[in-house]
Structure 1
Amino acid sequence: MSALAAVRRAVREFLATVEAPAEVCVAVSGGADSLALAEATAYVARHRNLRTRALIVDHGLQSGSAEVAAQAAAAVKELGVDTAEILTVTVSGKGGPEAAARTARYRALREALPGGEGLVLLGHTLDDQAETVLLGLGRGSGPRSLSGMRAHDAPWGRPLLGVTREQTRGACAELGVEPWQDPHNADPRFTRVRLRAEVLPLLEDVLAGGVAAALARTAAQLRDDTEALDTVADRILTRAGGPEGLDVTVLEAEPAALRRRVLRRWLLGSGVRELTDAHLRAVDALVASWRGQGGVWLPGNLEASRCRGRLSLSRPEPTTPIPPTTRGD
Structure 2
Amino acid sequence: MARIPPPVATVRAAVRRELTSGPVLVACSGGADSLALAAAAAFVAPRLGIAAGLVTVDHGLQDGSAARAASVAQWGRAAGFDPVEVATVDVAGRPGGPEAAARDARYEALSAAAQRSGATVVLLGHTRDDQAETVLLALARGAGPRGLAGMPRRKGLFVRPLLDVSRADTRGACAALGLAAWEDPHNADPAYARARVRADALPALAAALGPAVVANLARTASLLAADVAYLDEVAAEALATARTSAGLSVTALSRLPEAIRGRVLHAWAAELGAPGAALSHRHVAALDALVTGWHGQGPAALPEGILVARRAGDLVRASL
Superposition TM-score tier, normalisation by shorter sequence: over 0.9
User: d(CA) in 2 for partners of 1:280 and 1:210?
Assistant: 36
The aligned counterpart of 2:242 is 240
Secondary structure at the counterpart of residue 100 of structure 2: helix
1:252-290 per-residue CA deviation (whole Å, 9 max, x = no partner) reads 112211111111111112222221111110010000111
1:89-108 aligned within 5 A: 89-92=89-92, 93-108=94-109
**Which of 120, 133, 154 is 2:156 aligned to?**
154
Secondary structure in 1 aligned to 2:231?
A: helix
Percent identity reads 50
Runs (4+) off by over 6 Å: none
The two structures, once aligned, show a CA RMSD in angstroms of 1.5
Q: CA deviation at 1:117?
A: 6.9
Stretch deviating more after TM superposition (72-81 or 200-209): 72-81
CA contact (8 A) 1:136 1:146 kept: yes
Q: State the alpha-carbon separation in 2 of the partners of residues 117 and 58 from structure 1.
A: 20
Query: Distance in 1 between the 2:119 and 2:173 partners?
Result: 30
Q: Give the match for residue 114 of structure 1.
A: 115
- Report the equivalent of 2:68: 68
Q: Indicate conservation of the 8 Å contact 1:89/1:104, yes or no.
A: yes
1:7 to 11, 16, 19: 11
Say whether residues 1:266 and 2:268 are aligned partners: yes
State the TM-score, normalized to the length of structure 2: 0.94
Structure 1 Cα separation of the partners of residues 85 and 131 of structure 2: 27
Q: Determine helix, strand or coil for the equivalent of 1:80.
A: coil
Q: CA contact under 8 A between 2:58 and 2:87: conserved in structure 1?
A: yes
CA distance in 1, matches of 2:83, 2:240: 45
CA displacement, residues 92-116 of structure 1 (integer Å, 9 cap, x when unaligned): 2232222211111111111112279
Amino acid aligned to 1:103: D
- Structure 2's unaligned 5+ residue stretches are none
- Cα distance in structure 2, aligned partners of 1:260 and 1:290: 16
- 1:304 corresponds, among 300, 303, 308, to 308
Q: Secondary structure at the match of 1:37?
A: helix
Counterpart pick for 2:221 among 219, 222, 236 = 219
Query: What runs of 5+ residues in structure 1 fail to find an aligned partner?
Result: 318-329
Distance 2:301 2:97 in 1: 26
Match of 2:81, as an amino acid?
A: V
| Structure (1 or 2) with the larger CA radius of gyration | 1
TM-score by length of 1: 0.91
Does the alignment pair 1:56 with 2:56?
Answer: yes
The one-letter code of the counterpart of 2:80 is G
Which residue in 2 is equivalent to 1:321? none
CA distance in 2, matches of 1:82, 1:298: 45
The equivalent position to 2:286 in structure 1, one of 282, 285, 295, is 282
Given residue 65 of structure 1, which amino acid in structure 2 is its aligned partner?
Answer: S
Superposed displacement of residue 76, structure 1: 2.5
Residue-pair matches, total: 312
CA distance in 1, matches of 2:232, 2:245: 22
Partners of 2:84 and 2:31 lie apart in 1 by: 15
Counterpart residue number, 2:167 = 165
Q: Counterpart amino acid of 1:275?
A: L
Conserved 8 A contact 2:150-2:221: yes
